[in-house]
Amino acid sequence: MQNGETKTAWNSTGRANQKLRTRNAILQAAVELMRTGREVTMLEVAVAALVSEATAYRYFPDLASLLQEAMAGQMPTPAEALKSVADSRDPVERIAVVTEHLLRTVLTYEGATRAMIAATITRPATAGTRPGLRFGLIDHALAPLDDTLGANDPAALAQLKNDLAVIVSAEALFCLTDLCRLEREAAVASIIHTATAVTRAALPAAGDAV
């Protein structure tokens, strides 16, 4: 009886380890495909992970949830993204840095970003699976305004963050490259110009202390 119990426990542990290895293989395949910048599909991920597409879907219900987890381990923190201006309290300078950082990240993982946007637009209920990198970056970039604009007019600071969420985004970048036919570098420069102009325009409300 004891040998039977030991064998059952070993089989259970072995199956759990195999499932973990399979899940990790799917995640790693997704990360490697993301880094190419090209389009990512669940079938391509499955092929790269040496599993069937059906198996990949057993571990991840949809492409968006897989990409969300794969992206999570690849992105620097907002503090790391702002390292070059860590000592600056100029929100305009800081917004310029995080805007460029986000757009370069989007271009690096363009295929995965497009797939994520497409999946969540057609299925709004899954929008929560999108990483939402812009929000943490914007909050961190505007931290110097917390005791000025934030203290004097919190609604104005909230409005600025909402305005920047529209501008500092993959959607804005793809609008300029796909619809306006701008080259990538021109699109990045245009968005940085807009983000800093909007930030600068909000500063007078914070008074001379900004």
The two three-digit tokens of residue 112, written as one number: 């995965």
Model pLDDT, residue 7: 57
User: Are 86 and 79 in contact, with CB atoms under 8 Å apart?
Assistant: yes
Model pLDDT, residue 123: 78
H helical segments located in 82-183:
91-108, 110-122, 133-141, 149-152, 154-167, 170-174
Q: Is 153 exposed, middle or buried (0-12, 13-18, 19+ CB in 10 A)?
A: middle
d(CA 202, CA 153): 11
Superfamily of domain 2-60: Homeodomain-like (1.10.10.60)
Tell me the angle at which helices 133-141 and 91-108 cross, rounded to the nearest 10 degrees.
160
Model pLDDT, residue 206: 42
User: pLDDT tens digits, the chain, 210 residues: what are they?
Assistant: 456 565 565 566 777 788 999 999 999 999 999 888 888 899 999 999 999 999 999 999 988 889 888 888 778 899 999 999 999 999 999 999 999 999 999 999 999 999 888 888 887 777 776 778 899 999 999 999 999 999 999 999 999 999 999 999 999 999 999 999 999 999 999 999 999 999 999 996 444 444
d(CA 145, CA 90): 9
d(CA 116, CA 137): 19
Indicate the pTM of the whole model. Answer: 0.81
Question: Which of 140, 70, 52, 66 is closest to 102 using CA atoms?
Answer: 140
What DSSP designation does 151 have? H
